[in-house]
């Protein structure tokens, strides 16, 4: 693992100045699949299990701190609403999304959906609708309802389709 | 090519099961199940002997036939749980040994005139496994990777760690049982796969959907039923045998607990025979010792089928629930891995094939597959399986286990509801903070109650413990803000912190775990186990 070590300490030292995109080595306009892939790539390289043989406390703390930030970057960027909030924060020159903003509550709609992925589609659809991307929102809602026939999807689809006619 | 790091102490992979346990090690790049004589599987049973000692395993299980009140089994169902929890209360109805409430809402047992905690019972089993492995390998073992069910809560994981510590084992990683099972099958090549782990054990049924992407293991969803397993099949067979006794001998063994225990033991053997051949027989010379009541019992697989079919079919909706949680349909599953003795029954394999539309993997013994996987992960963590690193590659056949939060974590709010801080299936490690304010004027302290589960009301979830933050500034309600932080580390263990933002003093209160052992209890237990050094064991899960 020694070849990873210099990279790891470089990352550790500049952690507070790196954006989530930089941490995962992603372009800012990337899609969900790219985020997921980047996270898997980083996890393989920097997961604390990779360094289980390191017994020194200070070295372990570096590994844990870096990986925690990688997971944070993934958790924020993979949630469309959080990613949106993060992009706003980044425009203000911030590198991280504040810890209270990261801990967002599920919306009333999301609470009525039990399937994790359907919930993700719900978030994405609402977010796209708010930005005026009506067709993209409609597609997400359709994908979501195919996973779980939940009421919030029906209401959302109805709203979108009515706006067309 | 795997390269061995010489002189390195092997890591013991442990499957501490509800009904049976097993352990395995990796040596010279090969995983093998530890055996004592012909025994590879150790019943998770601990008997208190009248003269003061403890028996573990097969010999302890036999004590159930003569001294059922002093034999502890299925204790895993109670580890890390509060006395008042539904599971513990159900156990009190079902088992002959005495279960009562200890300090801090913990579960205590009274067997052989001695009072022991559930953690100590697990510790006896772990000590037995450790000694068995040390004898077999002829060397001392200290390090372990221990597998726990994917849906184990934080307090259950902590309690399991403490049990290992009491047994003199250093837990380098707690891993999920289904993940271990998948690791045993070596699904770590560069092919991305989705795996369903169908774990039908003695007393519990769990199904977990895993996704493997470039050596990264991710638990997508897990679902289970806590009282469904091989025991239910034994029950059906025992009942048949009891009826047969009534017909043949003219008296019913139902009122005699020892006779029923004997029948149950034979029923289990009949079930195991049917798993391998098509007929199971039991020749019992005397159902009750001293009374002339011989029983000849025979049943074919075809006769058993219709009787146990309804039991096996109860696994179908659980599988569907897990698939739905993962957002997948059955045909999107690439492999099905079987875990647990009950999966050796042909009818179970048929139902699995029916659910997923393809036959399951059967090449590794479902009773030891978890231990093998835990040993493989242990070796990978210690580097003894890692290939030599060449060039700039990240190199390594070792899998990265990317765990998620198995169940949502939240705090109690006004009106008995839950405000969730971390939602289920969130990647770990993770840290979440939310601000709370005081709800009454001149409030001097806040009590933050923590639970794990999916219910909207607090009481319907598993209560983990609480944090009390004192000496708040006397102020009008809503004026004092408290930041509550939940942090989950790589092992899936939770730390809860509360910070008084008003004084900005790092007044950090740590969580008081319910159902755990108190410091004094732990110290006493450690002395009994001859482990003087428990300073490193903390209760903060």
First to last CA, chain A: 60
Does the beta-carbon distance from A68 to B430 stay under 8 Å? Answer: yes
Residues B222 and B333: their CA atoms lie apart, in Å, by 14
Q: pLDDT by residue for chain A (165 residues), tens digit each? A: 455 678 888 899 999 999 999 999 999 999 888 998 899 889 888 888 777 667 677 887 888 889 989 989 998 998 888 898 999 999 999 999 987 788 777 777 887 887 777 888 888 898 888 888 899 999 999 988 988 888 999 999 999 998 887
Q: Please state the length of chain B.
A: 541
User: SS3 for B125?
Assistant: helix
DSSP letters of B91-122? HHHH-SSEEEE-GGG-EEEEETTEEEEHHHHH
Q: Residue B123 in contact with residue B521, Cβ under 8 Å?
A: no
Q: Where are the alpha helices (DSSP H) in B456-539?
A: 519-528
E strand or H helix at B432, and its extent? strand B430-437
Residues A84 and A133: their CA atoms lie apart, in Å, by 14
Residues 6+ apart with CB under 8 A from B51: none
Task: Find the closest chain A residue to B173 by CA distance.
Answer: A49
Does the beta-carbon distance from A43 to B392 stay under 8 Å? Answer: no
DSSP letters of B183-229? HHTT--SS--EEEEEEEE-SS-EEEEEEEEETTEEEEEEEEEETT-S
Instruction: Give the per-residue pLDDT at B509.
Output: 61
Residue given tokens 């070849």 in the structure block: A3
Instruction: Give the per-residue pLDDT at A3.
Output: 59
Could you report the per-residue pLDDT of A69-110, keeping only the tens digit for each? 998 999 899 888 889 899 999 999 999 998 778 877 777 788
Looking at the annotation, which residues of B are catalytic?
A: 15, 76, 177, 199
Residues B210 and B202: their CA atoms lie apart, in Å, by 23
Does the beta-carbon distance from A105 to B324 stay under 8 Å? Answer: no
Q: Residue B34 in contact with residue B136, Cβ under 8 Å?
A: yes
Instruction: Give the per-residue pLDDT at B186.
Output: 79
How distant, in Å, are the alpha carbons of B87, B155, B370 from that of B158? 18, 5, 20
Q: Which chain B residues touch A68 with a CB distance below 8 Å?
A: 429-431
Residues B267 and B231: their CA atoms lie apart, in Å, by 10
Does the beta-carbon distance from B433 to A48 stay under 8 Å? Answer: no
Q: Please state the length of chain A.
A: 165
Q: Which chain A residues touch B381 with a CB distance below 8 Å?
A: 49, 52-53
Residues 6+ apart with CB under 8 A from B193: B187, B211, B212, B334, B335
Residues B409 and B417: their CA atoms lie apart, in Å, by 13
Instruction: Give the per-residue pLDDT at B276.
Output: 85
Task: Find the closest chain B residue to A60 by CA distance.
Answer: B490
The ipTM, to two decimals, is: 0.71
Residues 6+ apart with CB under 8 A from B392: A3
Instruction: Indicate the Cα dihedral angle A31, A36, A37, A42, nearest 10°.
Output: 130
Q: Where are the alpha helices (DSSP H) in A24-115?
A: 32-46, 57-77, 80-91, 99-102, 108-111
Q: What pTM value is reported for the model?
A: 0.79
Q: pLDDT by residue for chain B (541 residues), tens digit each? A: 344 444 578 999 999 999 999 999 998 888 999 998 888 999 999 999 998 899 999 999 999 888 889 999 999 999 999 898 888 999 999 899 999 998 888 899 999 999 999 999 999 999 999 999 999 999 999 999 999 988 787 788 889 999 999 999 999 888 889 989 998 987 656 577 899 999 998 888 999 999 887 777 778 888 888 788 898 999 999 999 989 888 887 778 888 878 888 889 999 999 999 888 888 888 877 776 666 667 888 899 999 999 999 999 999 999 998 998 888 899 999 999 999 999 999 999 999 999 999 999 989 999 999 999 999 989 888 875 443 333 222 334 566 777 777 778 899 988 899 988 888 777 778 888 888 888 888 888 888 888 888 788 898 888 888 888 888 888 888 888 888 888 887 767 788 888 887 776 655 666 655 555 666 677 777 777 765 443 333 332 2
Instruction: Give the per-residue pLDDT at A53.
Output: 67
Planar angle of CA B484, A40, B433, nearest 5 degrees: 5
DSSP letters of B336-376? EEEESGGGGSHHHHHHHHHHHSSPPB-SS-TTTHHHHHHHH
Residues B408 and B124: their CA atoms lie apart, in Å, by 32
Instruction: Give the per-residue pLDDT at B540.
Output: 28
């Amino acid at each position: 693992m020694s070849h990873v070590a210099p990279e790891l300490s470089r990352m550790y030292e500049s952690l507070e100045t790196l954006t989530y995109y930089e941490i995962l080595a992603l372009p800012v306009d990337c899609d969900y699949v790219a985020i997921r892939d980047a996270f898997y790539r980083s996890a393989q390289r920097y997961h604390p299990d990779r360094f289980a043989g390191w017994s020194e406390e200070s070295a372990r703390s570096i590994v844990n701190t870096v990986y925690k930030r990688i997971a944070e970057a993934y958790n924020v960027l993979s949630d469309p609403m959080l990613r949106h909030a993060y992009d706003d924060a980044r425009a203000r020159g911030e590198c991280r999304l504040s810890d209270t903003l990261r801990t967002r509550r599920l919306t009333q709609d999301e609470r009525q959906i039990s399937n994790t992925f359907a919930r993700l589609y719900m978030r994405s659809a609402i977010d796209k609708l708010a930005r005026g991307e009506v067709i993209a929102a409609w597609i997400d809602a359709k994908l979501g309802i195919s996973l779980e026939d939940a009421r919030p999807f029906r209401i959302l689809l109805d709203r979108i389709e009515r706006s067309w006619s | 090519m795997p390269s061995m790091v010489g002189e390195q102490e092997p890591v013991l992979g442990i499957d501490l099961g509800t009904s049976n346990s097993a352990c395995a090690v990796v040596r010279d790049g090969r995983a093998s199940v530890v055996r004592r004589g012909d025994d590879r599987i150790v019943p998770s049973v601990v008997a208190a002997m009248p003269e003061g000692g403890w028996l573990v395993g097969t010999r302890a299980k036999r004590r159930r036939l003569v001294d059922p009140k002093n034999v502890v089994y299925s204790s895993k169902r109670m580890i890390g749980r509060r006395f008042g929890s539904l599971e513990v209360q159900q156990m009190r109805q079902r088992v002959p040994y005495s279960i009562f409430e200890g300090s801090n809402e913990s579960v205590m047992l009274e067997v052989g005139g001695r009072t022991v905690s559930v953690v100590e019972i697990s510790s006896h089993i772990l000590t037995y496994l450790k000694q068995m492995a040390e004898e077999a390998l002829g060397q001392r073992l200290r390090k372990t990777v221990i597998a726990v069910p994917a849906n184990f809560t934080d307090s259950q994981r902590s309690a399991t760690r403490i049990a290992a510590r009491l047994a003199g084992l250093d837990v380098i990683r707690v891993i999920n049982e289904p993940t271990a099972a998948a690791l045993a099958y070596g699904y770590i090549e560069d092919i991305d796969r989705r795996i369903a782990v169908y774990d039908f054990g003695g007393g519990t049924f769990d199904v977990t959907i895993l996704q493997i992407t470039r050596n990264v293991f991710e638990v997508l969803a897990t679902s289970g039923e806590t009282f469904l397993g091989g025991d239910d099949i034994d029950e059906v067979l025992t009942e048949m045998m009891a009826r047969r006794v009534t017909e043949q001998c003219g008296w019913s063994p139902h009122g005699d607990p020892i006779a029923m225990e004997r029948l149950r033991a034979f029923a289990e053997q009949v079930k195991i025979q049917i798993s391998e051949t098509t007929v199971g027989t039991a020749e019992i010379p005397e159902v009750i010792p001293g009374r002339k009541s011989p029983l000849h019992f025979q049943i074919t697989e075809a006769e058993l089928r219709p009787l146990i079919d309804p039991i096996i079919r109860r696994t179908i909706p659980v599988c569907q629930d897990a698939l739905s949680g993962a957002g997948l349909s059955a045909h999107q599953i690439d492999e099905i891995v079987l875990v647990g003795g009950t999966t050796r029954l042909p009818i179970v394999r048929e139902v699995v094939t029916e659910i997923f539309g393809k036959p399951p993997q059967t090449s590794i013994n479902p009773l030891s597959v978890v231990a093998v996987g835990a040993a493989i992960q242990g070796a990978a963590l210690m580097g003894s399986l890692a290939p030599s690193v060449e060039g700039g590659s990240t190199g390594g056949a070792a899998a990265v286990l990317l765990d998620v939060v198995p169940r949502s974590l939240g705090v109690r709010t006004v009106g008995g509801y839950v405000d969730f801080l971390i939602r289920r299936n969130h990647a770990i490690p993770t840290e979440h903070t939310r601000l709370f304010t005081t709800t009454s004027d001149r409030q001097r302290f806040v009590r933050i109650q923590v639970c794990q589960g999916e219910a909207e009301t607090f009481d319907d979830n598993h209560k983990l413990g609480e944090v009390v933050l004192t000496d708040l500034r006397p102020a009008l309600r809503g004026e004092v803000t408290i930041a509550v932080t939940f942090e989950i580390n790589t092992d899936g263990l939770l730390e809860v912190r509360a910070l008084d933002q008003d004084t900005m003093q790092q007044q950090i209160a740590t969580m008081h775990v319910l159902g755990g052992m108190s410091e004094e209890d732990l110290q006493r237990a450690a002395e009994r186990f001859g482990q003087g050094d428990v300073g490193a064991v903390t209760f903060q899960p």
